[in-house]
Structure 1
Amino acid sequence: TGVKTHCHYLFLSTDFGKGLTGIETKEGVKVTLQAKHVLSSKLTTVFLPVIYIIVFVVGLPANALAIWVFLFRIKKKHPSSIYMANLALADLLFVIWVPLKIAYHFNGNDWIYGEGLCKVLVAFFYGNMYCSILFITCISVQRYWAVVHPLTQLRRDNCVAIALSVTVWIVVWVITVPLYLYDQEVRVTNMNIFTCHDVTRPSQKKMAAGYFFTMGTLGFIVPSFVCIVSYVLMLKALRNNMSDPTIAKKRRKAIILIITVLVLFIVCFTPSNIMLLVHYSLLLSGATNNLYGFYITTLCLASLNSCIDPFVYYFISEDFRDHVKNTFLCRSERTVERMRISFSALKYSKKSNTYNSDTANTQSTDC
């Protein structure tokens, strides 16, 4: 019996004792020394929670303000504002769960809130990431359509935008369901802690890897390709119509949008999704080092999109900028409308006086 147990232990060590899966027992998972080092390092117990604090402090008020502006300040809704409002809602739904993530890391990666909350936190984390990618893709395609086919921007486009937004929410909800079907909270026996999504049970690693391979491909690579094609076609259309005096302004806005979205993808989404695919590939192959430290760092940086998105709205939408300024200046919609009418009347009065003055001078010269 002792020999059999020893052989069984060696089998587990060889097959599963690599990366952050470790050796699975009835009590939990015994992780390797490398995994133990990662879970107790300052990277996960200091650096990550500090980044999440920044995400919460900046993201909560910024996205709450954005939703307020989109719902109550912008009266005339456009397709892009509908997409941006949904993007802000997705970010807000993620940010409100961030304090649990902060407490978890400061507590030495020991999850004390139960399996249910752990699954909800993980689902909202990845749901926010892919929801953001999909809504940014919608914004990019809508901007392309507005530049290349401006005459087709009719009122019915709002119905299309609403339908697409509902579809995105349903799709994201469906694709996060598998995260509830396997264990996210795992007890690490040789550290006496409960981790949340940091350790995968060896018996469930194929399920987890298959899920994230699918998500990395369909949730990131395909939308990224759509965004790139939209930007290329947009710039091509602007270049072919340089004789139009309004093209210069549209070109400037298009370039700002492209730069902003590219920065968002490069900083937030590209590293995390590449490392997601690399990590799970190494995990399945049984590599000694599956780069988990880099993986969770890029995932943390991906959450910064919740802080950056409100600035995307600010740069893309002139209406949003004006409404934000008026909100900070405590100007009501009625006050803003009166100021606009007064400014228009003053501008018209100046033009009228200039015209009358020029007419009088002409008549005087004729006399």
Structure 2
Amino acid sequence: MNTSNITNVTTEDKVYAGIFSLIMVIGLPLNAISLWILLRRHSLKSPNAVFMVNLALSDLLLVFTLPMRIHFHTTGEWTLPKGVCLIITMFFRTNIRSSASFITFISVDRLLAVVYPLRSRHLRTSCNAWKGAALIWGVFLVVNIPEAIGFLKHLQNHTEHSCFESHEYKSVTRSAIIYLQIVLLVTMLAVNIVCTVMVSWTLHNHLSDSAKVRNKVNVMLIFAINLVIFCTCFLPVPLHLATKSNTRITPLACLTVLSCCLDPLMYYFSFDSFWKKKEDVGREL
């Protein structure tokens, strides 16, 4: 049995196992600590904090699936039940969609706070933020149902001991969801770009004294990180599936999972208020 497993493991699989292991080692503590600080030091009455908490939860869900990916690339075959493969696949797809959505919400919230601080007060409430977060999770749960049914049928009709490369199975429903996902991701990327331009213009024209330059840099770092994550982590996989390329999807999956390590940069390096107590956060944007 061990000899068979060893022969199935290629050098490429060992590299993938190492990459996923490194991402898990970095991403798990980063997101766990981020979530703890957000819940402990920040009031969830802030819409920005609400979106960040949900983003950290989304990343943690993905990180928890990495041990199974590491197991697969270490042994060379999928030895766990097909239901586990189904769950991991759904978590992977949900992470792309939910993370992109929460990042976009964070960008829009920063836009409203910087460009329309007074007119947006009635919109930027924790109640609206929780409604938006609940809507995102609810929509993706509904979308996952037909996807999960189709993917499970695919797994049951194939006897090969594989899981993750089965992302490339073909069905009408799957193709429609892939193209819809591309449209949504491109739309959200456009929203992030517009937010970046508008906030940059506003800060350039209204923040001129040296005391506020650091705050300006911090705010723009959020948008820079968001754009990098979108272009590097979220777009490659659906574009790959849409083009029906015969190349392996695993390298692109590594980029997607990398978002678990990049997202916490918004918390640690973009917000001075991240380290402050609840009573001090209210003075920030």
| Superposed pair shares fold, TM > 0.5 | yes
Distance 1:272 1:79 in 2: 30
Task: Return closer, same or farther for 1:144/1:223 CA change in 2, 3 Å cut-off.
Answer: same
Task: Return closer, same or farther for 1:316/1:81 CA change in 2, 3 Å cut-off.
Answer: farther
Secondary structure of the structure 1 residue equivalent to 2:161: strand
Query: Which one of the candidate residues 145, 151, 162 is aligned to 2:112?
Result: 145
1:158-177 superposed Cα distances (whole Å, 9 cap, x missing partner) = 11111111111112212222
Q: TM-score, normalised by structure 2?
A: 0.83
Task: Return closer, same or farther for 1:241/1:170 CA change in 2, 3 Å cut-off.
Answer: same
Q: TM-score, normalised by structure 1?
A: 0.66
1:42 partner amino acid: T
Question: Which residue in 2 is equivalent to 1:172?
Answer: 140
Question: Which residue in 1 is equivalent to 2:247?
Answer: 292
Distance 1:243 1:72 in 2: 34
Residue 217 (structure 1) aligned with residue 172 (structure 2): no
Question: Which residue in 2 is equivalent to 1:159?
Answer: 127
Task: Return closer, same or farther for 1:211/1:224 CA change in 2, 3 Å cut-off.
Answer: same
Distance 2:273 2:263 in 1: 16
Question: Which residue in 2 is equivalent to 1:5?
Answer: none
Task: Return closer, same or farther for 1:76/1:113 CA change in 2, 3 Å cut-off.
Answer: closer
Structure 2 unaligned blocks of 5 or more: 1-7, 281-285
1:125 CA displacement: 0.5
Query: Which one of the candidate residues 223, 240, 244 is aligned to 1:275?
Result: 240
Residue 94 (structure 1) aligned with residue 49 (structure 2): no
Distance 2:136 2:168 in 1: 31
Q: Is the 8 A contact 1:56 1:98 kept in 2?
A: yes
1:198-223 superposed Cα distances (whole Å, 9 cap, x missing partner) = 13787x444433322222222x1111
The percent identity for this pair of structures is 30
Secondary structure of the structure 1 residue equivalent to 2:192: helix
Alignment: residue pair count:
270
1:232-285 superposed Cα distances (whole Å, 9 cap, x missing partner) = 22222233435688764553233212222222223312333332322x3xxxxx
Task: Return closer, same or farther for 1:238/1:56 CA change in 2, 3 Å cut-off.
Answer: same
Aligned pairs for 1:26-105 within 5 A: 41-43=10-12, 45-75=13-43, 77-105=45-73
Q: Is the 8 A contact 1:79 1:142 kept in 2?
A: yes
Distance 1:161 1:75 in 2: 13
Rg (Cα) greater in structure: 1
Q: Is the 8 A contact 2:41 2:275 kept in 1?
A: no
CA RMSD in angstroms, aligned pairs only: 2.8
Question: Which residue in 2 is equivalent to 1:30?
Answer: none
Distance 2:259 2:181 in 1: 18
Question: Which residue in 2 is equivalent to 1:355?
Answer: none
Could you tell which deviates more after superposition, 253-262 or 45-54?
Answer: 253-262
Flag the structure with more relative contact order, 1 or 2, with Cα contacts below 8 A and sequence separation at least 6. 2
Task: Return closer, same or farther for 1:55/1:201 CA change in 2, 3 Å cut-off.
Answer: closer
Structure 1 unaligned blocks of 5 or more: 1-38, 281-289, 324-332, 341-367
